[in-house]
Amino acid sequence: MSDEYDLIVLGAGTVGENIADRAVQGGLSVAIVEHELVGGECSYWACTPSKALLRPLAARRAAKAVRGAREAVTGDVDVAEVLARRDWFVGDWSDEGQVTWLESADIALVRGHGRLSGIREVTVTEGDGAERTLRARHAVAIATGSRAAIPPIDGLAEAEPWTSRDATSANEIPGSLAIIGGGVVAVEMATVFAGLGATVTVLARTGVLGGFEPFAGERVVDALRAQGVDVRLDTETVRVRRDIAGVTITTGDGVEIHADEVLVATGRVPRSDDIGIEAAGLEPGRPISTDDTMRVPGVDWLYAAGDVTGRVLMTHQGKYEARAAGDVIAARATGAPVDDAPWGRHVATADHSAVPQVVFGDPEVAAVGLTEAAARDAGIDVAVVDYDLGAVAGAKLHADRYAGHARAIIDKSRDVLVGATFVGPDVAELLHAATIAIVGEVPVKRLWHAVPSYPTVSEVWLRLCEEYGRESA
């Protein structure tokens, strides 16, 4: 009977770990199946190493931006030390620490590749090829994440491009790097590799950071160019070839770009292609759709959360979904009350309206909720409030010639914030106040009473209220 558990979680990334933890805390027995490293993409090849690589560059930039401190910065970052610090953060790609945590959390680890093989049943192919069948008394939760998409560009796959995994785990900085894509990975990795000494070219099919307010991408492009990155907008990549000298990339207008390496940063595909989901009547390779309790409609024992659902591809939001899923699986299994009304304990309501994201480039971009365009598309009675962050006293003190911008999107009919975007140095920490205001539906007339400390960059909140005007509230 040892292979029977209340819940089986497929995939031990951050999301799977959190589902399992919540379910154990809710009184269930849980097994988690992992075929690679416990901790998943975020811990070893995504959030953690990318931010570990970006941070020394940002710290140096911050010191250089303040007269008096600037004079103390007499050299470049130490590349070997930057890479060594990254290696420390990823535990040298060993999951020993996370396995110890699983043990302490009372979660059983089964190593191997898991596939659904029947109702509430997962068959695991272990490293030696042996098969082991696990049965779940109550539920199976899929948290198998995503992998980098390789678009069907002539010769791209054969040229063995870098994906974000190769970029975040690089042990040497190539002399030159071409990046296909204009999204979050492209911006962050262009910042890293240009900062660490590579000659970087970004080939963006349209603009940069589409989906954010347009001024975000524009400011990031200006800053990347000022750092020496060759950013080519509206540039289709049509062919890629690798030879002994490196890669040659041909663009839609016939221009050839030569680089030592090419990084493909064109989005993600869900890892749902080889997990047996046809056993639950689902289509392999597609995102796994769920309701807001993260249960798959029509399959009452099957749940999914994180990247594999395609809902929101970010760790913090996947963990949020995981908390809802783990708690609701435990509640349904034990007959406890289920709170699945919007904003209840067992639903991931914020996925629809209040998703925060920080792009850790130079400048940083921090955004939550709706952009102006998305709010108008949703038929909201929109007020757009803009403010020059560089005009805030706290920002002037923070960095000499601080340049940044803030935009608030207000639903006039409800007098609440529905979106906010900040662009500038160190704006990441401004974001959570906006997330709270949106989730809490704090009336703007009440926000006037949330007094920001002087002289902080957060004083932009007061300026945004003043720009909007008290009489309109």
Ligand X SMILES: NC(=O)c1ccc[n+]([C@@H]2O[C@H](COP(=O)([O-])OP(=O)(O)OC[C@H]3O[C@@H](n4cnc5c(N)ncnc54)[C@H](O)[C@@H]3O)[C@@H](O)[C@H]2O)c1
Residues engaged in binding ligand X (CB under 6 A):
151, 180-186, 188, 204-206, 210, 237, 265-268, 313-314, 357-360
Cα 175 to Cα 167, 178, 201: the distances in Å are: 13, 10, 12
Question: Residue 121, interface with ligand FAD (CB under 6 A)?
Answer: no
From candidates 8, 9, 10, 329, binder to ligand FAD by CB under 6 A: 10
Cα–Cα distance between 172 and 354 in angstroms, integer? 38
User: For residues 26 and 306, which CB has a smaller minimum distance to ligand X in the complex?
Assistant: 306
Closest-CA residue to 174 (of 252, 48, 263, 278)? 263
From candidates 42, 257, 280, 434, binder to ligand FAD by CB under 6 A: 42
Question: Residue 430, interface with ligand FAD (CB under 6 A)?
Answer: no
User: For residues 164 and 191, which CB has a smaller minimum distance to ligand FAD in the complex?
Assistant: 164
Phi, then psi, of 255 in degrees rounded to 5: -80, 140
- Which residues share a beta bridge with 210? 212
For residue 306, which amino acid is it?
G
From 82-90, 307-315, 336-344, 395-403, give the range in contact with ligand FAD by CB under 6 A.
Answer: 307-315
**Exposed e or buried b per residue across 74-83, where buried means at least 16 C-beta atoms within 10 angstroms of its C-beta:** eeebeeeebb
From 34-42, 96-104, 197-205, 281-289, give the range in contact with ligand FAD by CB under 6 A.
Answer: 34-42
CB 167 to ligand FAD: min, Å: 7
**Annotated binding-site residue? 272:** no
**Annotated binding-site residue? 188:** yes
**At 186, which helix (H) or strand (E)?**
helix 184-195
CB 275 to ligand FAD: min, Å: 5
Q: Are 240 and 153 in contact (CB under 8 A)?
A: yes
Question: Residue 332, interface with ligand FAD (CB under 6 A)?
Answer: no
Binding at 180: pick from ligand FAD, ligand X, none (beta carbon under 5-8 Å per type) = ligand X
Q: Are 43 and 36 in contact (CB under 8 A)?
A: no
User: Restricting to residues 273-302, which ones interact with ligand FAD according to CB under 6 A?
Assistant: 275
DSSP 8-class letter at 465 = H
Binding at 328: pick from ligand X, ligand FAD, none (beta carbon under 5-8 Å per type) = none
User: For residues 48 and 293, which CB has a smaller minimum distance to ligand X in the complex?
Assistant: 48
CB atoms within 10 A of CB 449: 8
Question: Residue 209, interface with ligand FAD (CB under 6 A)?
Answer: no
Classified as helix, coil or strand, 355 is: coil
Cα–Cα distance between 240 and 5 in angstroms, integer? 49
**Annotated binding-site residue? 186:** yes
User: For residues 18 and 250, which CB has a smaller minimum distance to ligand FAD in the complex?
Assistant: 18
Helix axis angle, 96-104 to 14-25, nearest 10°: 20
Residue by residue, DSSP assigns 1-46 as -TTEEEEEEE--BHHHHHHHHHHHHTT--EEEEESS-TBHHHHHTS
Cα 184 to Cα 7, 180, 214, 266, 352: the distances in Å are: 34, 12, 14, 9, 20
Cα–Cα distance between 13 and 265 in angstroms, integer? 21
**Annotated binding-site residue? 114:** yes
From 88-96, 234-242, 305-313, 345-353, give the range in contact with ligand FAD by CB under 6 A.
Answer: 305-313
CB 295 to ligand FAD: min, Å: 16
Question: Residue 435, interface with ligand FAD (CB under 6 A)?
Answer: no
Question: Residue 34, interface with ligand FAD (CB under 6 A)?
Answer: yes
Structure-token pair, residue 70: 């600037």
Q: Are 428 and 420 in contact (CB under 8 A)?
A: no
Size of the site for ligand FAD (CB under 6 A): 36
Question: Residue 437, interface with ligand FAD (CB under 6 A)?
Answer: no
Question: Residue 314, interface with ligand FAD (CB under 6 A)?
Answer: yes
CB 86 to ligand FAD: min, Å: 12
Binding at 132: pick from ligand FAD, ligand X, none (beta carbon under 5-8 Å per type) = none
CB 50 to ligand X: min, Å: 6
CB atoms within 10 A of CB 337: 8
User: For residues 145 and 326, which CB has a smaller minimum distance to ligand X in the complex?
Assistant: 145
Question: Residue 325, interface with ligand FAD (CB under 6 A)?
Answer: no
Structure-token pair, residue 103: 């043990």
Q: What is the side-by-side order of every strand in the sheet holding 237-243?
A: 237-243, 246-251, 256-259
Binding at 186: pick from ligand FAD, ligand X, none (beta carbon under 5-8 Å per type) = ligand X
**Annotated binding-site residue? 267:** yes
DSSP 8-class letter at 389 = G
Annotated binding site for FAD, which residues? 51, 114, 144-146, 307
- Feature table: binding site for NAD(+): 181-188, 267
Residue ranges binding ligand FAD (CB under 6 A): 10-16, 33-36, 40-42, 46-47, 50-51, 113-114, 143-146, 164, 168, 185, 271, 275, 306-307, 313-316, 318
